[in-house]
Amino acid sequence: MTQTGAVAGSSLTDWISLGVLASAVPRDAVDDAVTATGKGAQRAGGKLPPHVMVYFVMALALFAGEDYEEVAARLTEVLRGWGCWQDGWETPTSGGITQARQRLGPEPLEELFWQVARPAADLDTAGAFLGPWRLMSVDGMEWDAPDTAENRVAFGAKSGPDGVAVFPKARVVTVSECASHAAVLAAIGPSAAGKGTGEQALARPLLELLEDDWLLLADRGFYSWAGWCAAADTGAALLWRVNVNIVLPVLELVPDGSYRSVLVNPAVRRGARDALLTAAGRGEDLDPRAGRYVRVIEYEVTDRDGDDELIALVTTITDPREASAAELARAYHQRWEHETGNGQLKTALRGPGQVLRSQSPALVEQELCGYLLTHYAISALICTAATAAGADPDRVKFTRTLRIVRRAAGPAFPP
């Protein structure tokens, strides 16, 4: 990837102008999602049929700083140029667009995301795998929603030293591919609407959907016994950071500096716990409802101020021949690629400090799905282009690609 944007003998613009974004979210998948959710057009010849509104919601994410009518005008020029509408067709008003968004609802975009979002890296993509496992990660982020009564009830608002926050906050938890930053699983919910609205609760159903060739990385905020078991039972490999106050008995030292241990269900107490640890020390089979064998990798990170931080990782990869402690420690730091992807969504696409534009919870969910789909399409494009050039996707600047996509928005969104 050169500074001019050349990729493998052609320009990144060429990839986009050939409809690569459309291939990530194709029209037939949009139609299938609309049909599956019962949101088909109620009358023929409507100004804003459902499939157009799906792409319009994606365009709202692409042009987050523009108002409804400007975004519609950009798309209208393209659709008219492709012969989709007659020359006499006029851009709908903001009110008409709002009504069309309300008719569409969030369901088609949610369904569409589940249909199209797949890992984008292949075996040739730099940094995508550790041995047989595709590197994936789970993380969450919060989005400010407009301060309407509906949004405040649905999403809640956090309290702090200065009182209740100005804006309600929606929470999004995603499972993303580390190499491409593309989210492939997602859950949307409240951030401060009471018990059960934390990241762990929102992530739990996603952990049951992992693939058996994934290695899922997670920060310490995601660890719970129930979540670990749900994720491990999918057959996926896990590498999660845990709090240092979790008791991890040393069962066997491993030559690479790691050690084998056991996670114990917190519900197992006293005599039953002692008996389980004794059985684990002997290497006996354990009731998976009570205990799970793991391997532990511990290391220190030196802070610039001289304070060292102990990192404790637990993994289902108990055989060091499959992945050494050093390899796993390096792999864990790929989790920060998820933070990069979150920044692309919230800062590059949405804009720093910007509030979502939707006035109701259903449209907030719809808008967030639009962001996820648009980010997925761009991330998949970057990954495909970088892999073809033999480059690491991290070397392709998301913001630069986004500018090119915005200039070439026409071919990117098919009629």
Closest CA relative to residue 182, chosen from 51, 371, 408: 371
Where are the strands (E) in 73-165, listed by range?
129-130, 133-144, 159-160, 163-164
Does some domain include residue 85?
yes
Find tokens 């719970």 and name the residue: 224
Does some domain include residue 68?
yes
Taken as a whole, the chain contains a residue count of 415
Q: Across the strands, what pairs with 164?
A: 159
Q: What is the 3-state secondary structure (H, E, C) of 209-271?
A: CCCCCEEEEECHHHCCHHHHHHHHCCCCEEEEEECCCCCCCCCEECCCCCEEEEEECCCCCHH
Helix pair angle (50-62, 68-81), 10° resolution: 120
Structure tokens at 89: 């067709």
Q: Tens digit of pLDDT for each residue in 53-90?
A: 898 899 899 889 999 988 887 776 655 554 455 555 56
Predicted pLDDT of residue 9: 42
Helix pair angle (50-62, 361-388), 10° resolution: 70
Q: What is the 3-state secondary structure (H, E, C) of 299-342?
A: EEEECCCCCEEEEEEEECCCCCCCCCHHHHHHHHHHHHHHHHHH
Instruction: Classify residue 351 by burial, with Cβ atoms within 10 Å: 0-12, 13-18, 19+.
Output: exposed
Distance CA 241, CA 94 (A): 47
Distance CA 187, CA 256 (A): 38
Q: Across the strands, what pairs with 310?
A: 300
Amino acid at 9: G
Predicted pLDDT of residue 265: 97
Q: Domain count for the chain, please give it.
A: 1
Does some domain include residue 312?
no
Predicted pLDDT of residue 72: 82
Phi–psi pair at 232, nearest 5 degrees: -65, -35
- The domain of 53 spans 6-115+346-412
Predicted pLDDT of residue 159: 73
Does some domain include residue 199?
no
State which residues of the chain have pLDDT below 50.
Answer: 1-19, 82-83, 411, 415
Does some domain include residue 231?
no
Does some domain include residue 30?
yes
Distance CA 12, CA 404 (A): 8
Phi–psi pair at 130, nearest 5 degrees: -120, 105
Does some domain include residue 120?
no
Give me the sign of the Cα torsion angle 7, 10, 15, 16: positive
Does some domain include residue 360?
yes
Task: Please tell me the number of Cα atoms within 13 Å of 40 on its side-chain side.
Answer: 7
